[in-house]
Amino acid sequence: RKEVEQDPGPFNVPEGATVAFNCTYSNSASQSFFWYRQDCRKEPKLLMSVYSSGNEDGRFTAQLNRASQYISLLIRDSKLSDSATYLCVAGGSSASKIIFGSGTRLSIRP
Amino acid sequence: NAGVTQTPKFQVLKTGQSMTLQCAQDMNHEYMSWYRQDPGMGLRLIHYSVGAGITDQGEVPNGYNVSRSTTEDFPLRLLSAAPSQTSVYFCASSLSSNYGYTFGSGTRLTVV
């Protein structure tokens, strides 16, 4: 079983919709969590960190549920430019071992 | 500010050849990692380092060596290239585990 698991999608939603992704992690000792965005044939770029209290950045909200060992990303009022692959990340068996999920593909249609 | 620089951007190797993928960062980051990305597999951690002189294995270390003689550089060496090592390789660096990684633009490697 992979340490970090995501639904690969694709999610195909209309512009303006709200979409949510979940990601589960297996290492209960993980301390750091992130969401990344990756465009086709480009490097991943940090979207946001995920904090225990939840955090928001504009249209994006990230949540962490330690009891159930999952993190989530909510995108409100989706734009065409949000089309990308979203990667969730959890610190692995040591704090410095950062493990990525396989990614969830999102496609926003006009 | 160059960030994370990877060279080369593209490489074709013959089976059995060895080569070194270069990675350098100018942000004084202690943490550096190498990942490979294959279709449908996401990013898989090959090796990582928490500082000069310290390296450790990730999820898929076989067939790869690393060294970290300076804070800035973290080269990845392929010992004897195999077609299964055809992939896109990303190097990334971070100030610490509490900060996200900054990625290089990747090296596309094909082994024939």
The residue type of B80 is S
- Flag whether pLDDT at A95 surpasses 90: no
How would residue A93 be classed by pLDDT, with cut points 50, 70 and 90?
A: low
- Flag whether pLDDT at B32 surpasses 90: yes
Q: What is the pLDDT of residue B1?
A: 65
Report CB contact under 8 Å: A96, B58: no
Q: How many other CB atoms are there within 10 angstroms of residue A71's CB atom?
A: 26
Chain A residue with minimum CA distance to B94 = A96
Which of B50, B90, B100 shows the shortest C-beta gap to A96?
B50
- Flag whether pLDDT at A33 surpasses 70: yes
**Comparing A92 with A24, which gets the higher pLDDT?**
A24
Which of B90, B94, B98 shows the shortest C-beta gap to A43?
B90
Q: pLDDT for A52-81, tens place per residue?
A: 888 999 999 999 999 999 999 999 999 999
Chain A residue with minimum CA distance to B45 = A99
Interface with chain B: mutation pick from A38, A97, A104, A105, highest number of B CBs within 10 Å: A97
Q: pLDDT for B82-111, tens place per residue?
A: 999 999 999 999 988 778 899 999 999 999
DSSP state, residue B59:
S
Q: What is the pLDDT of residue A28?
A: 87
Q: What is the pLDDT of residue A35?
A: 96
Beta strands in B1-112, from DSSP E residues, in sequence order? 4-7, 10-13, 19-25, 31-38, 42-51, 54-57, 64-66, 76-78, 87-94, 102-103, 107-111
Measured between beta carbons, the chain B residues lying within 8 angstroms of A102 are 40-42
Q: pLDDT for A10-25, tens place per residue?
A: 999 999 999 999 999 9
Interface with chain A: mutation pick from B97, B105, B107, highest number of A CBs within 10 Å: B97
